């Protein structure tokens, strides 16, 4: 019987409403789901969910705070969006996270194990930039890190927010933290693969695609064109201005974040077989920074067939 249980949450800004509502439905049906989980893992907004649960907060309380305090931080934007300027004033998000978690709550104080990715822009010890996996397994060098700081370091998306304490969003490492969590379960907790189960909850599978010919594309354009000539810019990997509804605005960044999520699921499934379950309903190409999409996300979550997920939990969790 499986004995080591992991729950992971993807990043996705306002799309986190989907994963939180799915979690609420799962926990309502399975009251011991949270208490019987050994590791909570997440990136960006998923790190907020993971550390909230690991600190003892309920799914309902976590989602309510998300709606009441975190979403308003996404409602203010600046001209230029993610192309020319940071889109979101970051101070509201920082204040919300610091309000929810006690100022002195550190990773060593959490009731459960956690794994949270981020990217350090400069490591003095290594004399270079470096991916980081914050965790609180025995012997971790991060046990004294504040829970709020870890979340904010994992949530500083380069296209929409400034770096936090010289760290940027964990999606540069892994949007879906499944394989990293499995690695820690094996390497730190000494669990054999056949004793591990992972429930991976996403923030929605979007029909993003790029079907056009990309021959000759550069990161900006073929020529160094002046800002006033922006309407004449050809398509490029940096910003796709003449996109169709299902094409990415920021092709390079969205390939990194979206592609890694599929990759993590593929590898985790190969490692665990039917002891890995991915819950990630299809959604339209919603913005990750627009709070107005939340009602539609909640509706999708409520309409999602959870019978396969319930069956997986019944098999692998003591609920």
Cα–Cα distance for residue pair 313/127, rounded to 1 Å: 44
Q: In whole angstroms, how far apart are CA 281 and each of 68, 209, 255?
A: 24, 17, 19
Radius of gyration of the chain (CA): 19
166 Rama sector, left if φ>0, alpha if ψ -120 to 50, beta otherwise: left
Cα–Cα distance for residue pair 186/192, rounded to 1 Å: 6
- Candidates 194, 289, 212; CA nearest to 251 is 212
Q: Catalytic residue among 169, 178, 265, 268, which?
A: 169
Strand partners, 279: 201
Cα–Cα distance for residue pair 88/161, rounded to 1 Å: 6
Q: Catalytic residue among 19, 41, 44, 140, which?
A: 44
Query: How many C-alpha atoms does 51 have within 13 Å on its Cβ side?
Result: 32
> Two tokens at 314?
């019944």
- 44 given a catalytic annotation: yes
CB atoms within 10 A of CB 256: 15
- Candidates 13, 11, 19; CA nearest to 280 is 19
- Candidates 202, 205, 11, 169; CA nearest to 86 is 169
> Do 225 and 232 form a contact (C-beta atoms < 8 A)?
yes
- 169 given a catalytic annotation: yes
Place of tokens 């665990």: 272
> Do 185 and 274 form a contact (C-beta atoms < 8 A)?
no
Q: Which residues are catalytic?
A: 44, 169
């Amino acid at each position: 019987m499986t004995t080591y249980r992991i729950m992971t949450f993807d990043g996705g800004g306002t799309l986190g409403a989907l994963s939180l509502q799915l979690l609420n439905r799962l926990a309502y049906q399975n009251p011991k789901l949270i208490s019987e989980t050994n590791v909570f893992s997440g990136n960006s907004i998923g790190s907020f969910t993971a550390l909230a649960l690991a600190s003892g907060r309920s799914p309902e309380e976590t989602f309510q705070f998300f709606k009441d305090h975190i979403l308003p931080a996404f409602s203010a934007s600046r001209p230029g969006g993610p192309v020319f300027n940071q889109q979101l004033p970051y101070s509201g998000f920082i204040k919300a996270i610091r309000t929810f978690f006690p100022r002195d709550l550190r990773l060593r104080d959490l009731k459960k194990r956690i794994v949270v990715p981020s990217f350090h822009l400069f490591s003095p010890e290594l004399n270079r930039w470096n991916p980081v996996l914050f965790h609180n397994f025995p012997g971790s060098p991060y046990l004294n890190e504040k829970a709020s700081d870890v979340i904010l370091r994992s949530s500083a998306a380069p296209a929409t927010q400034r770096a936090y304490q010289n760290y940027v969003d964990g999606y540069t490492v892994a949007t879906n933290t499944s394989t990293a969590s499995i690695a820690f379960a094996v390497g730190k907790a000494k669990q054999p693969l056949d004793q591990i189960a992972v429930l991976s909850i996403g923030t929605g599978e979007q029909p993003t695609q790029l079907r056009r010919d990309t021959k000759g594309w550069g990161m900006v354009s073929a020529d160094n064109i002046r800002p006033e000539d922006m309407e004449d810019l050809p398509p490029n990997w940096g910003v796709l201005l003449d996109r169709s509804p299902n094409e990415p605005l920021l092709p390079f960044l969205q390939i990194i974040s979206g592609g890694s999520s599929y990759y993590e699921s593929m590898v985790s499934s190969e490692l665990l077989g039917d002891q890995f379950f991915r819950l990630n309903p299809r959604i339209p190409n919603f913005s990750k920074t627009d709070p107005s999409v939340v009602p539609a996300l909640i509706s999708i979550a409520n309409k999602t067939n959870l019978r396969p997920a319930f069956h997986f939990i019944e098999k692998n969790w003591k609920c």
